[in-house]
Amino acid sequence: MPLRRTSLLVLLAAACSSAPDATGPGDAPGLPGAGDTLPAQLSAGERLTVTESNAFGLGLFQRVSARRARQNVFISPYSAAVALGMTLNGAAGTTADAMAATLGFAGQSLPQIDAAYRALNQRLVRADTAVRFESANSIWYEKTFPFTQAFFDTTARYFGAEVQALDFRDEQGSLARINGWAKDRTNGRIEKVLDQIRADDQVMFLLNAVYFKGDWTTPFDSRQTASAEFTRADGAKQTVDMMTHRSVHPVWRASDLTAVELPYGTGAFSMVVLVPATGRSVDDLVASLGPAKWQQVVDSLKPQDMQLYLPRFTMRYEDEWKDVLTAMGMGVAFTPGQADFTRMSTRGREVYIDFVKQNTFVAVNEKGTEAGAVTTVGIGLVSLPPPVRVDRAFVVVIREKVTGAVLFAGKVASI
């Protein structure tokens, strides 16, 4: 299956199933076949969390891709969902409703959502001992601002969040702490997530960091890697390092795309590569990749002995999503004076989500894949409008408001 002539779409996936574990103690775990998933028992809440988080994540991916036509995009829907799920614990009223609906959890209670996130994270971390997957959360807040202990306790309990009070007036010191945490949690791959802190109107940052490193179950032989032509999304040609090997891979060949799955480790995690059919753009492929289409892809994969060609690549990506998340339905959370975060602070009517941004990294080579992401949610403080200073010559008008009658008018040129 040569991937020489077209742009491609890459998705990382974790395989989970509601089927009972059929592997006995001491048995060597077999690799999952096409259409199979790892034998793991998911609760109803976990299944719903995965389903709804995937729907949110694919929708986010589609919207981000649409505004970055013919450009590279690499995001972590999981990291975004966790960071926003953590922030959801501080929201109330219509703000909480809008955020929950956007994340796909309309009608569920917050304790149910939190418990499902915690269980899912624990499962992912333990999914495959041959693969390194880590997820960490932290909250950094201005030490003088009155955030509630209940909010900190809940995020620590369900998300394992590290909570740190900082003096945001010490901008460089605070940046060093926050960026240092992000760097440490991504194995040095993402060194900076914040460039500045506005101490006057930013009071909290909530971060989720995920790190993934997995070796291919069937690695590529670097001696077989050779230069090859690759067609970019804009139609231009470039020369890339093309890896290749012959192996059995789950594949689906449809009229609009070809999909191939490459497992890592013992098979719990995999990369699914989707190549658009000739004459179809990679942007069109992303636009079609809703939850139903994604499930069709996964369900249709069947093992096939094949020659695979895959380019070696590295990518860094950074993006802010206020406009995207607003379009997805949670605009009230970004609106000063309307956002309600009274479960986060006694001054919760004065704060709002200032920004949501994500920094990512991915490297794919003959050995496997390394990827990292940090999602940062910035909490802003409604600032006072500029003061009115009557410190130069001015005009005064005295009026009666019901009739509109002007009773007096004057110009004060000196005092």
The answer on pLDDT for 7 being more than 60 is no
CATH topology of domain 9-215+314-381: Antithrombin; Chain I, domain 2 (3.30.497)
pLDDT tens string 62-105: 999 999 999 999 999 999 999 999 999 999 999 999 999 999 99
Instruction: Look at residues 91, 101, 60 and name the one whose alpha carbon lies nearest to residue 77.
Output: 60
**Structural tokens at position 278:** 């000739």
What pLDDT score does 320 carry? 98
How many Å apart are CA 177 and CA 202, to the nearest integer? 16
What pLDDT score does 5 carry? 36
Share of the chain above pLDDT 70, in %: 89
**Structural tokens at position 105:** 């959890």
Contacts of 160 (CB under 8 A, 6+ apart): 121, 136, 137
What pLDDT score does 51 carry? 81
pLDDT tens string 353-408: 999 999 999 999 999 999 999 999 999 999 867 788 999 998 989 898 998 998 98
pLDDT tens string 276-331: 999 999 999 999 999 999 999 999 999 999 999 999 999 999 999 999 999 999 99
Question: Where exactly are the structural domains of the chain?
Answer: 9-215+314-381
